[in-house]
Structure 1
Amino acid sequence: MVLDLVLIGLAIAVFPLSVTAFVLVLSTSGGVLKGLAFILAWLACFVAVLAAVLLTTGGKPPAPASAPSTASSAVKLAIGVGLVGYGWYRRRRSRRADRPAKPPGGLTARLDRISVWGAAAMGPLLQPWGLVAAGAATVVEADLSHTSSYLVLFGYCVLATSSLLAMEVYTAFAPESARLRLGKLRTWLQTHQEQALVAVSLVAGLFLVSRSIYQLTS
């Protein structure tokens, strides 16, 4: 479970669409407050999903080769196949495209007028739900009778949110430096977002497929 959650958490943390949106939120007027609202709503939704899974299982992992265990592995397999397919689709689409991506100037202007509540609503909406679902299917294996499981789940939540937290803290304590560096990050994402999406989707998808097949056949 730990290895699965580490890789899924990393994939969520660096998912290009979420990171790009958060950089845009931080670059708007009152970005630090809006970014905090984004993160709190993101975390609340994230924790709620995990809590729902743990309430369903009662904090006890299903027996190996049981119906719940098999269903959990099958869900991860389906998500992995979906991520591989999505990554392959984005790769083919980017190869066919003959125009560079348009800069999100219009989006930035619209986000500049967004309220704190609007930023909070964006947090859950922009989570990579396929990866979040894969993490939820993995958390089925958590055994809450051991303290280590709580530490693993806490670490998973922090890891999945780490990129947003790092940018938020950096912007709050070093606004001028953060403005320059996040501006460079936004420029990089504008030109490399497709490649990053393909890489994250394929790596996470292939990992989930291989792990699920192993669990289903062992």
Structure 2
Amino acid sequence: MLLDLFFIGLVITLYPLPIMAFVLVLSAPRGVWKGFAFLLAWFACLVAVIAVVILLTGGEPPPPRSPPSDAAHAAKLAIGIGLVLYGEHRRRRRRKVPTSPAPSRSDTSGGGSLTSRMDQVTVWSAAGLALLLQPWGMVGAGAATVVEADLSRSGSYLALLAFCILATSSLLAMELYMVCAPDRAGLALTNLRAWLSGHKDPAVVVTCLVLGVWLAGRSLYELTR
């Protein structure tokens, strides 16, 4: 369980789509407060999902090879296959798209309009954005892994807390950087946004394929051993 939670949390925190949105939120007026609302909603989602799973299991892992245990592994297998298919779909679609020419003035104005729309985001809508951009398939894989948690051991609480913190760590680091050094953070986030704009699709493909293969392989092993 620990290794799976660590890997899933690491992929969630590196997933580029929420990071791109969070950079825009931080760049907006009162971005620190909006980013804080985004962070709270993001973290609350992870905690809520884990709490629901614990309520259903009672904090006791199902016996190996039991129907609940097999159902959890089957869910992870389905999520893994889905991530692989999605990553392959994004990869094929990217190969069919011709190489983009140098950004034109209209492209620049489009980016500016997006930024201006993000400037109008409120604290509440920033929190709602966190709910929409949560990679729910990956979070679902984490929930299926939490089924194995044994809350009679104190280490399980630490593992679940570490998963939530790890899955939030990239956003938390940007928020703290913005609070402690706003000028340098603004420049760094601008450069990060520019890099992600050109590498978003490859990053999505890699994260989905890697996590998908991992989940599918681990689940098949557990179901067939």
Gaps of at least 5 residues in structure 2 are: none
Shift of 1:192: 0.3
Deviations along 1:42-94, one digit per CA (max 9) or x if unpaired, are: 11111111100000000000000000000000000000000000000000111
Distance 2:203 2:32 in 1: 26
1:188 aligns with 2:195: yes
Structure 1 residue aligned with 2:186, among 168, 179, 188? 179
The alignment partner of 1:62 has SS state of coil
Bigger drift between 116-125 and 135-144 goes to 116-125
In the alignment, what sits opposite 1:6? Answer: 6
Structure 2 residue aligned with 1:123, among 112, 130, 134? 130
Question: Which residues in structure 2 correspond to 1:163-178 (within 5 Å)?
Answer: 163-178=170-185
In the alignment, what sits opposite 2:54? Answer: 54
| One-letter amino acid of the counterpart of residue 20, structure 1 | M
Shift of 1:98: 1.4
Distance 1:94 1:24 in 2: 24
| One-letter amino acid of the counterpart of residue 187, structure 1 | A
| One-letter amino acid of the counterpart of residue 216, structure 2 | V
In the alignment, what sits opposite 1:152? Answer: 159
What TM-score results when the alignment is normalised by the length of structure 1?
Answer: 0.98
Deviations along 1:114-138, one digit per CA (max 9) or x if unpaired, are: 1111101111111000000000000
Shift of 1:105: 3.1
Distance 1:87 1:161 in 2: 22
How many residues get paired?
218
What TM-score results when the alignment is normalised by the length of structure 2?
Answer: 0.95
Stretches (4+) displaced over 4 A? none
Gaps of at least 5 residues in structure 1 are: none
